[in-house]
Every structure is written in structure tokens, then in C-alpha cells.
């Protein structure tokens, strides 16, 4: 914890671990923690950045031009140290660049910048994925923040809800035992636009929407206590996850998804992949706003 980088204003204090450029603490003006307690009984993650894959690759490999490359669930960025390239009282930017190590898993040059910025009661996270090469680059990216459940200063855990900004008529994608995505859809767990949070929802892993219409959700307990508005203007997929009994809930905006079950095709052809043009940049943003 001693090397976490802190930014703060009158409303929020955020601390980022350069290992993975992982948002590791977000506190309100009273010093109350809005994120997971990272209890090792459940999960020690806090808010990993998922790159260059989201979810589980089938067989833990990806295929590029017919060659297989080993790739663990959610990619390698979360396990690698980022370099701090800019730091002020309210903003910090971290960078990960391609290396001999990353090319054994993903044979592309890339620059991944993560900027964390406070503006009043909002924490903005701005991602820039740069492709410096002369050829286009397939990739995916996801956020994975784990927020306190229950939120401090609010009522009991069972009263917490996630409310979607728009109606979501589609169901969620079923997940296989190996973490890949099964065909078809399961019935939506929403009541109108509201997901009432219970441990039972996550008995079989995450809830995954692969074509989300909403660009934000609000997490909190009815109209009692604080809430968080989580906005994700650039990501077409969403996961919500916890381990039953844990004191966190993950709200995960994704531009990417686990492999279809049994997938053996090219990485660039799987669902959720975007292409970064030669010399181009892909921007993906998320914001978290504390509502009193």
C-alpha cells in the first residue's frame, strides 16, 4: 500500500496502485471507504483493468494469424507494473507499453494509458489505447471496479439496488463451468429497470449483458443513504458480479467478453473485439459520481 498514488479534492480521495494501475481506494469527504475490503476469503482484487482480453479465452489461448498465444482470464495488464507519467493533486496518469514479455501473449506493440481525474464528486477514468504500428490491432478492454456492499452510511445490504438508465429487454448470457459463454440467453433478472441485489443472483457466476442499452447505472439503497452513478459511454457490454457473502459488488463496463464456449477462431473475429487502426488511438471512459 505504501506505493499507492493518491489524488484528492474536497469531495473524494482516490488511491491507485501502479501494479495494474488499479484503483484501490475511493473515500468520501468523511473518509469512508466506497470500495471493497478485499477480504482474501472472497477476492483480493479491487478494480483491475482488463486488457487485451475480457473474460476467459477458450483453452486459455488466443489465435492470431493461425498461431496460438497463451492468455489468462482478463489479460495481463492487471498483473504488470505501470509507469506513473503525470501526477497532480487531482489527477494521475499511468502507462503500460508492450515488451518482450507481453509479446509472448499478444504480438502487438501498444501503449495503454490510464488517467484518473477528480472533478467535484466524480472520479473520471480515461483509457487511451494507442497502436503505434503500421497495421491495425485487435483488442478488448474492460473495467472491473468492486464497490462496497453495503455502501457506508447507508442501510442494510439487502436494501441495495442497481438501477439501469434505460430498459433492458434482453436476458443475460449463461456462463459455462470453464468461464466461457454458452449459446442463448437466460431470463432477465431485472424488475423494470431495477436489479435487487441478493447473493442468489451470483450462485452461477456473473450476470452478463452483451448488448447493453444503458450508458449508466445507479447503485445504492433506494432513496436512503449515498449512491454511486457509474457511467460508461463507450462500452457496449456489462457484467455485474460478486461472490455470495462478500462485501462488494462489481459493476463492470466492458468492450469485450469471454469466448463463446468451444471457440477456436481468430481473436479478431470473436465477439466484442475492436480494431485500433494503424497509428490510431481507442478511447474508453468510465466515471463514478458520489450522490449524497
Backbone angles phi, psi at 78, to 5 degrees: -70, -15
- Provide the 8-state DSSP code for 43: -
* 1 has a pLDDT exceeding 80: no
The pLDDT value recorded for residue 188 is: 94
The pLDDT value recorded for residue 81 is: 98
User: pLDDT tens digit string along 150-169?
Assistant: 999 988 999 999 999 999 99
The pLDDT value recorded for residue 105 is: 98
Asked whether 38 and 46 are in contact (CB, 8 A), the reply is: yes
The pLDDT value recorded for residue 154 is: 86
Share of the chain above pLDDT 70, in %: 99
- CB-based burial label for 26 (10 Å; 0-12, 13-18, 19+): buried
What is the band of 292 on the pLDDT scale with cuts at 50, 70, 90?
confident
Average pLDDT of the residues in 76-105: 98
Average pLDDT of the residues in 98-124: 98
* 88 has a pLDDT exceeding 60: yes
Which residue in 218, 250, 217 sits closest to 233, CA to CA?
217
What is the band of 199 on the pLDDT scale with cuts at 50, 70, 90?
very high
The pLDDT value recorded for residue 224 is: 77
CA 177 – CA 13 distance, rounded (Å): 38
CATH code of the domain in which 27 resides: 2.70.98.10
* 2 has a pLDDT exceeding 60: no
The pLDDT value recorded for residue 18 is: 98
Total domain count for the chain? 1
Average pLDDT of the residues in 224-231: 93
pTM of the model: 0.97
What is the band of 222 on the pLDDT scale with cuts at 50, 70, 90?
confident
* 215 has a pLDDT exceeding 90: yes
Q: How far is CA 129 from CA 1, 109, 111, 246, 288, in A?
A: 27, 11, 6, 33, 21
* 69 has a pLDDT exceeding 60: yes
Domain of residue 36 covers 5-291
The pLDDT value recorded for residue 115 is: 99
Amino acid at each position: 500500500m505504501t506505493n499507492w498514488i493518491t489524488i484528492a479534492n474536497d469531495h473524494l480521495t482516490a488511491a491507485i496502485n501502479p501494479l495494474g494501475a488499479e484503483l484501490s481506494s475511493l473515500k468520501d469527504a468523511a473518509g469512508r471507504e466506497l470500495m471493497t475490503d478485499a477480504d482474501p476469503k472472497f477476492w483480493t482484487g479491487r478494480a483491475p483493468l482488463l486488457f487485451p482480453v475480457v473474460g476467459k479465452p477458450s483453452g486459455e489461448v488466443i489465435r492470431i494469424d493461425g498461431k496460438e498465444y497463451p492468455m489468462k482470464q482478463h489479460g495481463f495488464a492487471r498483473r504488470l507494473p505501470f509507469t506513473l507519467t503525470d501526477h497532480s493533486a487531482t489527477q494521475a496518469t499511468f502507462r503500460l507499453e508492450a515488451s518482450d514479455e507481453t509479446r509472448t501473449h499478444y504480438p502487438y506493440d501498444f501503449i495503454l494509458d490510464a488517467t484518473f481525474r477528480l472533478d467535484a464528486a466524480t472520479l473520471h477514468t480515461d483509457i487511451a489505447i494507442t497502436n503505434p504500428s503500421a497495421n491495425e490491432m485487435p483488442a478488448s478492454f474492460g473495467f472491473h471496479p468492486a464497490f462496497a456492499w453495503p455502501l457506508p452510511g447507508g442501510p442494510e445490504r439487502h436494501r441495495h439496488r442497481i438501477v439501469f438508465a434505460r430498459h433492458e429487454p434482453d436476458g443475460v448470457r449463461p456462463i459455462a463451468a470453464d468461464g466461457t459463454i454458452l449459446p442463448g440467453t437466460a431470463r432477465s433478472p431485472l424488475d423494470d429497470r431495477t436489479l435487487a441485489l441478493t447473493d442468489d443472483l451470483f450462485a452461477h457466476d456473473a450476470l452478463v449483458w452483451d448488448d447493453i442499452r444503458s450508458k449508466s447505472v445507479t447503485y445504492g439503497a433506494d432513496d436512503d443513504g449515498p449512491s454511486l452513478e457509474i457511467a460508461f459511454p463507450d462500452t457496449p457490454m456489462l457484467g455485474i458480479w460478486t461472490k455470495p457473502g462478500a462485501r462488494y459488488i462489481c459493476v463492470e463496463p466492458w468492450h469485450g467478453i469471454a469466448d463463446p464456449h468451444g471457440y477456436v477462431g481468430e481473436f479478431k473475429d470473436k465477439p466484442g473485439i475492436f480494431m485500433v487502426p494503424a497509428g490510431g488511438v481507442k478511447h474508453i471512459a468510465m466515471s463514478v459520481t458520489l450522490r449524497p
